[in-house]
Amino acid sequence: MSLFRGSGVAIVTPFKDCKVNYEKLAELLEWHLKQGTDSIVVCGTTGEASTLSEDEQKNVIKFTVEKINKRIPVIAGTGSNCTAHAVELSKYAEEVGADAALVITPYYNKSTQRGLIAHFTEVANAISIPIVVYNVPGRTGVNILPSTLAELSKLPNIKGVKEASGNIAQIAEIARLVPDDFYIYSGNDDMIVPLMSLKGDGVISVVANIAPKDIHDLVQKFIDGDLEGSCELQLKMKPLIDSLFIEVNPIPVKAAMNLMGFNMGKVRLPLVDMSEDNLEILKTRMKEYGLI
């Protein structure tokens, strides 16, 4: 299977009384389908996978796959800083019908580049569905180098990268080194157009949780050759994007969804509610954008 081109939402996980709210998750998935979202990325950073139990993570993946029912691709977050655990989660995602796995670089233990190659090779050898490598050094403490990614791209089912380093020179080097059929997604909502200008295929987006149609349109306009229209949307969205990262993701985006009436519940500890000052900034940007 090939991966998607377009806008994938890094979807939030709704909670109620400290438990996953599957009723709200089902509503959210249907809304994204109506809004034109091209792919659902479940149990990633924005989905608070790090505070889900293993059973919760597996249940959320299975539930999402079943509800979407092949209408658009479902990419399951299955990464871990323990290779054996990443293998187990990835095998489970494949078993229940996920279309691909999003596998983050191991965090905290700060692997060497050789270790990264060994880690991703182990996961790739355990499954047959496509793997999207997730590089977000600001969270993991380790950056996957372009030369490492080029080496991994030789494996038949490592088919793409969610690149969230924020380093445009690194993105250019990745695009230069990987094969033409290797997918490159922006992991930064404020860099979609620049990344797509370097052979990128789209975005795995936080902002798509609250403005899915606009993110879809931004990417589709670029694909269709309407660079001016795509750039216009990117620049229009910039203040909103900035406000969604005024505190650590997904604190602001979950607050934004609650302001819009989605009732996604609170973030789990150690994350906490936004400060009042930052919440006011978020509200102002959302009002300016027309979301509330």
- 183 catalytically annotated: no
Which candidate in 24, 67, 92, 134 is catalytic?
134
- 162 catalytically annotated: yes
CB 119 within 8 A of CB 149: no
Q: Which long-range contacts (CB under 8 A, 24 or more apart) does 201-204 make?
A: 201/3, 201/4, 201/5, 201/6, 201/160, 202/4, 202/5, 202/6, 202/7, 202/8, 202/38, 203/7, 203/8, 204/8, 204/9, 204/10, 204/39, 204/41, 204/44, 204/75, 204/102, 204/132, 204/162
Which candidate in 24, 162, 221, 254 is catalytic?
162
CB 210 within 8 A of CB 11: no
Question: Would you call 265 helix, strand, or coil by DSSP?
Answer: coil
Residue 55, number of CB atoms within 10 A of its CB? 8
Residues labelled as active-site residues: 134, 162
